[in-house]
Amino acid sequence: MLIHGLGALSAAAFVLLGYLSYPDGDMSLPWFYAITLFVFAISIYVALTHKQANKTFSNFQVFCVVLGWPILFRLIGLYFGPIFEDDHYRFLWDGYTFANFGSPYGVAPEQFFGDPTIPDKFQPILDGINNPDIATIYGPITQISFLLAYWLAPAEVTALQAIYLLLDVVVILLLLKIAPRAGVILYAWSPLIIKEFAFTAHPDIVGVVFMVASLFCLKKDHQHLALVFIALSFCAKVFAILLIPLIVIRCHWKTWWVLPVVVAGVYAPFLLLNKADLYGLFAFAKDWQFNGSVFALLTQWLPVQQAKLLCAVVFCSCYAIYWFVFVRNRELIPRGDWVFGLFFFLAPVLNAWYLIWFLVFAAIYPTRWAWSASFLILMSYINGYNLLDSGLELYQQPHWARLMEYLPIIALFIYELLLKKQSLKIKILKS
């Protein structure tokens, strides 16, 4: 009964979150953090106590904890809408251009300003797009989800939310096959995941569901399918490229042809028409900076391009070391939490929803520092966009907010390293 009481409290908290942000998606930051911290604390408690409770749980109770309550939380997000975000305007616009012009690529939204042929219901969508001078950066598979949402309900963010809610539930089901139940509960009850995908409809879930499907197939030794799914994940979002070498090396070399064939098959129709997502991605990678940690620190002493080069060298060096270690050990599922964690720690841009790529691995390999990051990343919403009278530029963050975000994660990471080192010493002494 306690678990259901906590589920009801979490559901009430999400209702309050939606109510306070309705209808324009803005709300008081103190209320936002109080509610998300409350739900986060409940998720930790439920995950930590599930082993003891599971001994006396019926199958129905287990279902409620792992799927029942999490699905309800997501349906609450579906009823309300995006919080602190306007990215959904771009997604809805891409769906419109894909459906009506055969491709969402190659033309920046600003070129449609003042066009009288744009339907009335899409005029406010067009006006709401941020960075309208840049063509879309989203991959072809993600664009298909935008197109599907357009077919379901043009100009309605609810269609996107419904699609991503279903994909998120698929991620939970797949994680149940490859992750400990405590980790799955942490993911399923996570306020970050629910806020960013059920409420706010960010499309990274499209790439992540294919990535997790690839890991599941790899574990089942379905190597061709594993390569198909990781290729589709890459075609949804470029982040998946970080996992490709680690998955390919676990597959027989005779299956490797699958990866380039799938990628070429998905991209070819768009490349024949225009540049696909490459132009937008290059513009984004060149100019955008937000919520960086190491990179932002380096730019205090180095030019931006030198800071990017140094971060790239550090990441590639660490990645190469881990790749050789991974090749030699027997793990099928790589430590994606290390890979994505280091990548995001060095990156110039770290939006809150990016962490889903990292958190699915934190469900498989749960750690204190990883799940603390799932809440602390929300500190990135303390910026000029949400503090209109602060004197900050639109996406500028106060230094204290970034310290609150990153210092506890670093401290917990070091603490867990020391614990692991101490545990290793004890095992050596006992042996």
pLDDT at position 391 is 75
Q: What is the pLDDT of residues 105-158, one digit of tens each?
A: 888 899 999 888 999 999 999 999 988 988 888 999 999 999 999 999 999 999
Q: What residue spans define the domains of the chain?
A: 1-80+180-201, 289-386+394-431
Q: Which two structure tokens, joined as six digits, stand for 332? A: 């099928």
Averaged pLDDT of the chain: 90
H/E stretch holding 406: helix 399-430
Confidence at 276, pLDDT banded by 50, 70, 90? low
Taking Cα atoms as reference points, which of 400, 422, 377 lies closest to residue 84? 377
145, 232 in Cβ contact below 8 A? Answer: no
Q: What is the pLDDT of residues 293-305, one digit of tens each?
A: 999 899 889 998 9
Distance CA 365, CA 382 (A): 29
For the residues 267-283, what does the mean pLDDT come to?
A: 70
pTM, two decimals, is 0.93
What single-letter DSSP state applies at residue 194? I
Distance CA 323, CA 317 (A): 10
Taking Cα atoms as reference points, which of 181, 186, 128, 131 lies closest to residue 157? 128
